[in-house]
Amino acid sequence: MPIIKTVQGKHPQIPEDCYVAENATIVGDVTLGSECSVWFNAVIRGDVHYIKIGNKVNIQDGAVIHATYQKSPTTIGNNVSIGHNALVHGCTVKDNVLIGMGSIVMDDCIVESNSIIAAGAVVTKNTIVESGSIYAGVPAKKVKDISKELISGEIDRIANNYVKYSSWLKED
């Protein structure tokens, strides 16, 4: 059973059509949309501020979603993939975004829609990631624009695949 805990009277809201792995942790003021998946060893910790997650979001193995006490909540839009071991902290991630494996998105960042954060990138505090772009590096900077093909070929494909993968595990 996953660890799902109430903190200060706030209990995670998880629709029945979501998949939560047996060793995932979700605590506090967390709201998931429909068709989300929270994978093995992922942590969503809404103990110090709220975390709102849209529809068809996958939070892959080892990822951590957190916020900053009384300052920076975390809001994640629809059709978002958060890669293995990524850290998303006290920021806003809009719709149709891919957060690459091992990347870090820090407090008060805004990741606009239809964008990609490359694997291993560090998006520093207060950065605004432009819609339709790829950010990479440490600190992360814009490296190029995204084509329409990349949006459907990568962002949509990965989000849709994770809905499919989670259905395999729900069958057990």
State the fold for domain 3-166: UDP N-Acetylglucosamine Acyltransferase; domain 1 (2.160.10)
Q: How confident is the model at residue 152 (pLDDT cuts 50, 70, 90)?
A: confident
Residue 145 CA, chain-centre distance (Å), reads 21
pTM tops 0.85: yes
What pLDDT digit, counting tens, does each position of 59-110 carry?
Answer: 999 999 999 999 999 999 999 999 999 999 999 999 999 999 999 999 999 9
Assess whether the previous peptide bond of 12 is cis (omega < 30° from 0). Answer: no
- Provide the percentage of residues in the chain whose pLDDT is more than 90: 92
SS3 88: strand
pLDDT digits (tens, 9 = 90+) for 36-56: 999 999 999 999 999 999 999
Determine the pLDDT at residue 172. Answer: 58
Question: How does residue 171 score in pLDDT terms, banded at 50, 70 and 90?
Answer: low
Tokens in use for 132?
Answer: 């339709």
Dist CA 167 CA 170 (whole Å)? 5
Q: If you average pLDDT over every residue of the chain, what do you get?
A: 96
What is the residue extent of each domain of the chain? 3-166
Confidence check: pLDDT of 149 > 90: no
